[in-house]
Amino acid sequence: MQLIAEIAQAHDGSLGILHSYIDALAEAGVDVVKFQTHIAEAESSAHEPFRVNFSYEDATRYDYWERMGFTEAQWREIKAHCDAAGVEFMSSCFSQAAIDRMERIGMARYKIGSGEVTNFLLLEKIARTGKPVILSSGMSSLAELDAAVAFVQGFGNDLTVLQCTTAYPTPPERVGLNVMAVLRERYPGVKVGLSEHTAKVATGLAAAALGADVLEFHAVFDRRMFGPDAASSLTIDEVRQLVEGVKDITTMLAHPVDKTDNTIYAGLKAIFEKSLAVSKDLPAGHVLTFDDLEAKKPAGHGVSARDFKSVLGRKLKRGLARYDFLTAEDLEASRRDL
């Protein structure tokens, strides 16, 4: 399972904060650090409203995108830092110009946000690169997703489709873990995963347990920070917990246990399993009943506790003291009807 940590706008336009995220997330163990490439004049206009009216310094959404942008030289430095830190650089593109920029700096594959699923101009621009594509399904109906998947597959690109709910943060009842199975059945041979905004480690662990190929989540230093995605992000410490949990789950799924074979427990079974004993002093000739019996460790010191019914109604050949083990030699051969 591949883990994609999205910084998105958590850097708030600061290169220093952005680079500190790369180091923190690489140390936490993610596979990919993802950004968003916004070129305001190419993707937006003064008519675009804020999704969340959060900003104290940007009069319009266009102003915000402009403040969030970086130059091509800065993007090259960002990618070089990711390379040096041992994580894959990825950035979602929201315009043709952004794709051209990412192509020039050598991005390996593309993530298409759910708001772009019906933007076939952008889909074709990306598909023409021939590079792998990750498609998020957040705002899409299955019919819209079918069209986008068929379109991208027509170019032959390697494709991954992610279940996503466009809600920040997403409540548990809207995550839609079941949709991953729907996507896997609907698009044979396509990798499937989850892009989530719950700010809960449990969500990613659940996706891993269900066999997701890819998990994408937002990351932030602290959920109290400024920005539209902070409340729906995992903190760095939570990312570290997620990475550890996903590794454990991946190991568990890769090593199925054969419950028909318990030979590895032979030694433990000899210690923990029990032999029959008598629960009270009993004289020779006593006919054993259920209330006369106890089970004591270890196994192999008398009749097995699993076979207790075989001794009921049988006479003792000799007297036994309370909690003595009960062996086959202590019993008469015939069983009396009670």
CATH number at residue 114: 3.20.20.70
| Cβ count within 10 A of residue 200 | 20
Per-residue pLDDT at 228: 84
Mark which of 254, 280, 295 sits at the end of a domain.
254
Cα–Cα distance between 214 and 4 in angstroms, integer?
Answer: 7
Whether 217 and 324 share a structural domain: no
Whether 326 and 272 share a structural domain: yes
Instruction: Output Rg (C-alpha) for the chain, integer angstroms.
Output: 32
Whether 290 and 180 share a structural domain: no
Cα–Cα distance between 292 and 152 in angstroms, integer?
Answer: 75
Cα–Cα distance between 38 and 209 in angstroms, integer?
Answer: 34
Domain that holds residue 139: 2-254
Whether 323 and 273 share a structural domain: yes
Whether 121 and 237 share a structural domain: yes
DSSP for 8-54 reads: TTTTTT-HHHHHHHHHHHHHHT-SEEEEEE--HHHH--TTPPPSS--
Mark which of 236, 254, 272 sits at the end of a domain.
254
pLDDT digits 0-9 by tens, 93-122 = 999 999 999 999 999 999 999 899 999 999
Per-residue pLDDT at 64: 83
Burial class (CB in 10 A: 0-12, 13-18, 19+), 150: exposed
Q: What proportions of the chain, in percent to the nearest 5, are helix, strand and coil? A: 40, 20, 40
Say whether pLDDT at 338 is over 60. no
- Reported in sequence order, the residue ranges of 46-150 that DSSP labels E, i.e. its strands, are 88-93, 110-112, 133-136
Whether 52 and 179 share a structural domain: yes
Cα–Cα distance between 152 and 294 in angstroms, integer?
Answer: 70
Per-residue pLDDT at 137: 93
With beta carbons less than 8 A apart as the criterion, state whether 227 and 16 touch. no
Mark which of 254, 275, 290 sits at the end of a domain.
254
Cα–Cα distance between 330 and 311 in angstroms, integer?
Answer: 10
Whether 307 and 176 share a structural domain: no
Q: How many domains does the chain have?
A: 2
Per-residue pLDDT at 41: 84
pLDDT digits 0-9 by tens, 161-179 = 999 999 999 999 999 999 9
Rounded to the nearest angstrom, the gap between the alpha carbon of residue 91 and the centroid of all alpha carbons in its chain is 22
Categorize the per-residue pLDDT at 50 as very low, low, confident or very high, splitting at 50, 70 and 90. low
Whether 202 and 290 share a structural domain: no
pLDDT digits 0-9 by tens, 313-337 = 999 999 999 999 999 999 998 765 4
Across 44-58, 146-160, 286-300, least confident range: 44-58
Whether 99 and 149 share a structural domain: yes
Whether 171 and 307 share a structural domain: no
Whether 150 and 82 share a structural domain: yes
β-bridge mates for residue 123, sequence order: none
The residue-averaged pLDDT of 74-91 equals 98
pLDDT digits 0-9 by tens, 252-305 = 999 999 999 999 999 999 999 999 999 999 999 999 999 999 999 999 999 999
Query: What is the dihedral angle through the alpha carbons of 311, 313, 318, 323, rounded to the nearest 10 degrees?
Result: 60
The mean of the pLDDT values for the chain is 94
CATH number at residue 304: 3.90.1210.10
Cα–Cα distance between 297 and 272 in angstroms, integer?
Answer: 6
The pTM score is: 0.87
Burial class (CB in 10 A: 0-12, 13-18, 19+), 129: middle
Outline where 173-215 has alpha helix (H): 178-186, 201-209
Per-residue pLDDT at 61: 77
Categorize the per-residue pLDDT at 209 as very low, low, confident or very high, splitting at 50, 70 and 90. very high
pLDDT digits 0-9 by tens, 11-49 = 989 999 999 999 999 999 999 999 999 988 898 777 676
SS3 category, 89: strand
Outline where 232-334 has alpha helix (H): 236-254, 266-272
Whether 134 and 11 share a structural domain: yes
